[in-house]
Amino acid sequence: MAHLGAPGTAGQSGPGATSPAVTDEVSVRALHSQSTVYQGRIWNVVSDTFSLTPGGAPLTRDYIAHPGAVAVVVLNEARQVLLLRQYRHPVQMNLWEVPAGLLDVEGEDFVVGAARELAEEADLEAAQWQVLTDFFNSPGSSSEAIRIYLARGITEVPEDRRHERTDEEAEIEFAWVDLEEAAAAVLAGHIHNPSAVVGILAAAQAARNDFAGLRPGGAPWPEHPSQRLQ
């Protein structure tokens, strides 16, 4: 059985092959040019020309330049997870999701952004924040990085401070679902939103060890593209 983080030789496979350290790493390649080919309301499409190796043939790739996002798996004392049902026009479906939103406030701390989204979408605040996992939503076509938090110690936002939800958000419906039931719904193909799928399965796994070992809410996120530019 391969051990994560054990040293080994990359490029080998088959019985008896050793395993490389299973850790994603930054790999900066020579960038020759970059241009914006489409400027949208929320994100742009950019075109990069780069080389994989020094002096290598140039390659051009178009992708979505995305500010990133945060999502929140909210658990109550009964270990029920909060799910939101919301219409998503590109797929023309009502999807069960977890609270989430864009990192579109310049200079905002990641966990502060998550708390803001939780208050705006679900009228809730949390006393305890931990990082469940980080992932790239579609790294072959987008720079979108998503951090999923676990939020516990839930209280309601006072009515005079609640966000007014409009458009698709005005139709949001809520449900508290047992965590294991939600995980089973993911595996049965009943939940499709990526943040919900990843977050629910991560929370179900973490719950097996009573959430021990999770990173604190303020843990660094060096893999987010904005952090690599600092």
Catalytically annotated residues? 169
CA distances from 155 to 5, 30, 78, 111 (A): 39, 49, 14, 17
Residue 102's beta-bridge partner residues?
A: 69
User: For residues 68, 149, 173 and 192, what is the CA-based torsion angle, rounded to 10 degrees?
Assistant: 70
Decide: residue 182, CB within 10 A, 0-12 exposed, 13-18 middle, 19+ buried.
Answer: buried
- Cα–Cα dist 134/137, whole Å: 10
Structure-token pair, residue 119: 């208050």
Q: Token digits for 177?
A: 């679902």
Q: Taking the CB of residue 54, how many other CB atoms lie within 10 A of it?
A: 7
Q: Which of 59, 54, 52, 63 is nearest to 33 (CA)?
A: 59
β-strand partners of 39? 44
* Pair 7, 23: CB distance under 8 Å: no
